[in-house]
Amino acid sequence: MKHIIILGDGMADWPVKSLGGKTLLQSAKTPYMDKLARMGRVGRLKTVADGFHPGSEVANMSVLGYNLPKVYEGRGPLEAASIGVDLKPGEMAMRCNIICIEGDNIKNHSAGHITTEEADVLVKYLQEQLGDERVRFYTGVQYRHLLVIKGGDKRIDCTPPHDVPLKPFRPLLVKPFASVDKVTSEQGDKGDSGLVDKVTSERGDKGDSGLVDKVTSEQGDKEDSGADAAQLLVNSSTETLLTLPPLTPQQTADLINDLIMRSQRLLQNHPINQKRMAEGKDPANSIWPWSPGYRPQMERLSDKFPQVKRGAVISAVDLINGIGYYAGLRRLTVEGATGLYDTNYENKVAAALDALKTDDFVYLHIEASDEAGHEGDISLKTLTIENLDSRAVGPVYEAVKNWDEPVAIAVLPDHPTPCELRTHTNEPVPFFIWYPGIEPDEVQTFDEVAACNGSYGLMKEDEFINEFMRE
């Protein structure tokens, strides 16, 4: 049996007053998801483990069954893998947004959705002006880029910029965790999770447990558009690691904050921003690094499920492609995949179906609902849910339902992104599993409320993926 997971990022939501107390999944027209839920079996999945923030990297790793306290290393290293940066021992990677500051406040986390072409000019300029043997900037896509710090210490408190629109930025600058103030070189490093790491003087690949930096369920990570075609890994030199001493958490925080303030002075009058402002667009006038970590130690999906001899990931999101890289899935780049509501569903579905002809497992990730949730746009998010149903779930089902080799289909969000809150939460998400011959339960529709009555109940950790992959 072949397997495909269709992941509607951020699709789950809260009851909406203007919809008569229904969630968007309840209100939207989703005949295919309802049909497959009715023909299959339904449940709920806890995708955010206790102590973790409800970020997309956390939730998608949970969907695939990874043990988060063991392997989680933040968003930065996953996005590094996606854009071809091979992290070496002692190198700390961070997502580096280019944002818009207005006065002393964060106006938005995306610099008004700056284009990749514009951002590439700015990132290369920052590398010329701020990069050195310890600090290096890499271009990603649109407003999402990468900062690598050799010898950086990830035990720092960083705020995702999409969680704090219109808030003053200075109180949100990077700080060291208070719990690491009295750590000696012979002792392990104790992070806020209370778990002690055996950190060496070289800092190695293994950092703290990855448990989060004082982030509540009201905080989360906004999904993002993906990188260009997969490229060969960029080998970072390890020679300088021998001459650069590791930084303390305080030194790491001070370095990052200095980079933020210097970037604002450099970008303020850059020609790209002069042109953007003349066109009435937001300037991209500051960097904002966050979600630090080292190279993760993740097993390949085929190691856990030997029937997956070959698998693929399809996403316009860097971190999803990074997860796929470490999971041993080949990345399929799709023309027109934007990570927004205008993404090319048809091309993504075509790529998924082509992959299923040769592969055993496909992870089809669609970002649009999450972006709409972050915008707080109920109508737009409803449209993205209906598009997922009619332009992704339906065509996949219709194509594979009569294949000689059966195909199992699972559909679920990774986390809720309520329009009311405009960021992620950690409530369990609904899911269904269908394949030819499955014995259905009594659930008739696919939504957050109906799933509470599903026969799978509430699953956690690797229970969902184990059930889905069960032959």
Whether the per-residue pLDDT at 330 is higher than 50: the answer is yes
Query: What confidence category does residue 163 fall into, taking pLDDT thresholds of 50, 70 and 90?
Result: confident
Give the pLDDT of residue 375. 87
Give the pLDDT of residue 162. 85
Strand partners, 433: 41, 410
Please state the rounded mean pLDDT for residues 155-173: 93
Query: What confidence category does residue 329 fall into, taking pLDDT thresholds of 50, 70 and 90?
Result: very high
Give the pLDDT of residue 279. 97
Whether the per-residue pLDDT at 100 is higher than 60: the answer is yes
Average pLDDT, the chain: 87
Specify the 3-state DSSP secondary structure of 431.
Answer: strand
The pTM score is 0.79
Whether the per-residue pLDDT at 27 is higher than 90: the answer is yes
Q: Which of 141-155, 158-172, 194-208, 312-326 shows the lowest per-residue confidence on average (mean pLDDT)? A: 194-208
Give the pLDDT of residue 471. 72
Tens of pLDDT along 76-86?
999 999 888 98
- The enclosing H or E element of 289 equals strand 286-293
Please state the rounded mean pLDDT for residues 172-185: 71
The distance between the two most distant Cα atoms of the chain, rounded to a whole number of Å, is 64
Whether the per-residue pLDDT at 193 is higher than 50: the answer is no
Whether the per-residue pLDDT at 194 is higher than 50: the answer is no
Show Cβ contacts of residue 333 under 8 Å, excluding neighbours closer than 6 positions: 228, 229, 230
Q: How far apart are CA 334 and CA 368, in angstroms?
A: 15
Whether the per-residue pLDDT at 282 is higher than 80: the answer is yes
At residue 120, φ and ψ (nearest 5 deg) are -60, -40
Whether the per-residue pLDDT at 23 is higher than 90: the answer is yes
Tens of pLDDT along 336-347?
888 788 898 999
Tokens read off for 99: 């944002």
Give the pLDDT of residue 387. 97
CB atoms within 10 A of CB 239: 9
Query: What confidence category does residue 180 fall into, taking pLDDT thresholds of 50, 70 and 90?
Result: low
Whether the per-residue pLDDT at 457 is higher than 90: the answer is yes
Give the pLDDT of residue 141. 84
Give the pLDDT of residue 164. 87
Whether the per-residue pLDDT at 71 is higher than 80: the answer is yes
For 134, 272, 290, 420, the CA distances from 160, given in Å and listed in that order, are 23, 25, 6, 18
Give the pLDDT of residue 402. 93
Q: Nearest to residue 136, comparing CAs of 123, 117, 119, 122? A: 123
Q: How far apart are CA 354 and CA 5, in angstroms?
A: 15
Tens of pLDDT along 237-271?
334 444 789 999 999 999 999 999 999 999 999 99
Burial readout 107-125 (b: 16 or more C-beta within 10 A, e: otherwise): bbbbbbebebebbbebbeb
First to last CA, the chain: 7
Tens of pLDDT along 343-390?
989 999 999 999 999 999 999 999 999 989 988 999 999 999 999 999
Give the pLDDT of residue 240. 45
Whether the per-residue pLDDT at 87 is higher than 90: the answer is yes
